[in-house]
Homo-oligomer: A and B are copies of this chain.
Amino acid sequence: MLDESRLAIHQVTLRDQWSFRESIEGFARHGVHTTAVWREKLHEIGAHEAAQILRDHNMTVAGLCPGGLVTSSSGFTAALDDNRRMIEEAATIGAKCVVFISGGLGDGSKDLTAARARTLEAVAALIPEARSVGVMLGIEPLHPMMCANRAVFCTLKQANDWCDELDADDAVGIVLDTYSVWWDPTVAEEIARAGKRICSFHVNDWLEETKDLRLDRGMPGDGVIDIPSIRAMVENAGYSGPCEVEIFSAGNWWRRDPDEVIEIIKERFQTFV
C-alpha cells in the first residue's frame, strides 16, 4: 500500500506540462500533499500567491530549488543577493529548505579550487539570513558529470567536510539525490557520517543508456539504481522526511500526460523506492 505520507513529487517532474497552480492542484487531486517548488514556476506568480495556493491545497513544501549558482567571480555579489531573495521566498511559502547547488566553472575558468572556495564562502555568508527565518540551506552535491557547467560541488564527502567546517548543523543541511551519489563507493559511509544533516532526499533512476547529461533521468524502476537500499541508508542515518520524486526528462516524462505520470510515480513508489 502506498505510504502517502512519505511520497513527495517535485514540481520540476512536470516542468513542461503544468504551471505552478496546475501542478499543485494536480498533486492534491491525486492525493499527494508534499512537493518541492521549482523557482522558475514560483516566479510565474510570486511567492505570496504561491503560498496561498499551497495553503489552499494543504501542501507541505519540502524545498525550493535551485539556489546557489555562486561560482562566477564577477557575479558573486549579485548571486548572493539573489540567494537572499530566495531565502525570503522560501520563508514566505513555508519551504523547509532552499536547495543550494554550487554552479559550474564559468567565466572560462579552469580553477576548480577557487570555484569551490567561493561556494563555501557563499554558504557561510548566507547562514545568518537562513537562520533568522528558520529555513535550512540544503547543500546538494550533483553528479560529477555536471562539474563543468552546473556544480563544482559534486561529492557527498565534500558536503560532509564542508558541514564539519561550517559547524552550523542548525542552518546547513545536506540534500541527497540518488542520481548524484549512487555510483560512489563511499556512499554508505558518507550517508552514515551525514546522519541527521540530511534535510532532503531526492529519488530518481539512472538509465543504462543515458542520452543527455542533464535532462535524461529515469523513473524509479527504469534504471540501475538500487533506490530502496539507498533509502534504507538514509533512514538508518536518521532521516524520516519525504522521498521527493524529481525527474529531469526532456525526451520522455516531460512529454507525457501529467496525470498518467503521477499515477506511474505512485505505482513505482511502492516497489522501487
Q: List the interface of chain A (C-beta within 8 A of B).
A: 104-105, 109-112, 116, 143-145, 147-149, 152, 154-155, 157-158, 182-186, 206-210, 213, 223-226
CB within 8 Å for A226 and B111 given contacts A145-B145, A145-B210: yes
Chain A at the B interface: mostly helix, strand, loop or mixed?
loop
Q: Pick the residue among B104, B152, B154, B206 that contacts A148 (CB under 8 A).
A: B206
A111 to B226, CA, bound (A): 7
> Distance (Å) between the CB of A155 and the closest chain B CB?
6
CB within 8 Å for A183 and B213 given contacts A105-B224, A110-B225, A225-B110: no
Q: Pick the residue among B144, B149, B185 that contacts A145 (CB under 8 A).
A: B144
A213 to B211, CA, bound (A): 8
Asked whether B185 lies within 8 Å of A148 as measured between CB atoms, the reply is: no
Q: Pick the residue among B109, B184, B208 that contacts A155 (CB under 8 A).
A: B184
Asked whether B183 lies within 8 Å of A110 as measured between CB atoms, the reply is: no
> Distance (Å) between the CB of A21 and the closest chain B CB?
34
Given contacts A143-B145, A155-B185, 6 further A-B contacts (CB under 8 A): A144-B184, A145-B145, A147-B206, A148-B208, A210-B213, A213-B213
Q: What are the 4 closest A-B residue pairs judged by CB atoms, nearest first?
A: A147-B183, A110-B226, A145-B145, A144-B183
> Distance (Å) between the CB of A268 and the closest chain B CB?
15
A112 to B184, CA, bound (A): 10
Which chain B residues border A208 with CB–CB below 8 Å? 104-105, 148-149
**Identical copies of this chain, number:** 2
Asked whether A158 lies within 8 Å of B144 as measured between CB atoms, the reply is: no
Which chain B residues border A184 with CB–CB below 8 Å? 144, 155
Which chain B residues border A155 with CB–CB below 8 Å? 184-185
Which chain B residues border A157 with CB–CB below 8 Å? 185-186
A182 to B152, CA, bound (A): 11
A63 to B144, CA, bound (A): 27
Asked whether B158 lies within 8 Å of A112 as measured between CB atoms, the reply is: no
Q: Pick the residue among B104, B145, B186, B224 that contacts A110 (CB under 8 A).
A: B224
Name the residue among A143, A148, A152 with the largest chain B CB count within 10 angstroms.
Answer: A148
Asked whether B149 lies within 8 Å of A209 as measured between CB atoms, the reply is: yes
Task: Write 13 A-B pairs (CB below 8 A) sorted by A numbering.
Answer: A105-B208, A110-B224, A112-B182, A144-B183, A144-B184, A145-B210, A145-B213, A148-B206, A148-B207, A148-B224, A155-B184, A155-B185, A157-B185
A149 to B144, CA, bound (A): 16
Which chain B residues border A143 with CB–CB below 8 Å? 144-145
Which chain B residues border A185 with CB–CB below 8 Å? 116, 154-155, 157-158
